[in-house]
Structure 1
């Protein structure tokens, strides 16, 4: 009985923590890795970071893609001061180093296997109260 009670307390505490996370905090957790986490082999970076940041979890389907931005939160907040495009998204004025994670094959159930690609792209975000809350996409700098 004590083990069951302890288990329920832990589950409720985890749910409480998730419920109190703001949209901006969730954005940071899921998308900002600055400075970039060192010493991870390229082929393990995505699996490790997605699990560490609680983006993927046992029993849940694999997230098809996720992007980690290797720039400071302040640089991404600055994007919200830029004029939005015709779809309402704000873009970073400069390209940033990113790691784009894409699930390998048709793997939709854990264990999730990802491929990582590092690129220099501009980041498009949705903003709420001057803070980024959704990574809407990325695009390469003009040639």
Structure 2
């Protein structure tokens, strides 16, 4: 019984912390893994990281896709100093190492199974007060 109470207390504390985070902090939690977490098997990276970072959770639908950037947060903040494109998004000046996670199959209910793909792309972000707050997409370097 004490173990259950401790588990519930930790869960409530985690949820309270998630609600109190800024949009930039949420962006970092959901999208930045630098340096890349090395100990994970490649085929389990997405499932493990999305659960560890509280992007997916029991009782919530699976997120269709998520991208982890394996570069320092400062490099993404620097993107906010770039001139925005016609849609208002800012792109990183250089390609970055990424892991793109895509939901496998059509079922959006847990357990969530993802396919991981390693790429080097530019990252497009929405910025607020000079900080990235939304990963709007990625694009391959120009040939």
1:59 corresponds to which residue?
59
| Uncovered stretches (5+) of structure 2, i.e. residues with no partner | none
Shift of 1:20: 1.1
TM-score by length of 1: 0.92
- 1:13-57 deviation line (CA, Å, top 9, x unaligned): 333212210000000000000000002111100000000000000
TM-score by length of 2: 0.92
1:91 corresponds to which residue?
91
Residue pairs, 1:1-143, within 5 angstroms: 10=10, 12-143=12-143
3-state SS of paired residue (2:100): strand
Over 3 Å counting, the alpha-carbon distance change for 1:82 and 1:58 in structure 2 is: same
| Uncovered stretches (5+) of structure 1, i.e. residues with no partner | none
Give the 4+ runs in structure 1 shifted more than 6 A: 2-8
Q: Give the root-mean-square deviation of aligned CA atoms.
A: 1.9
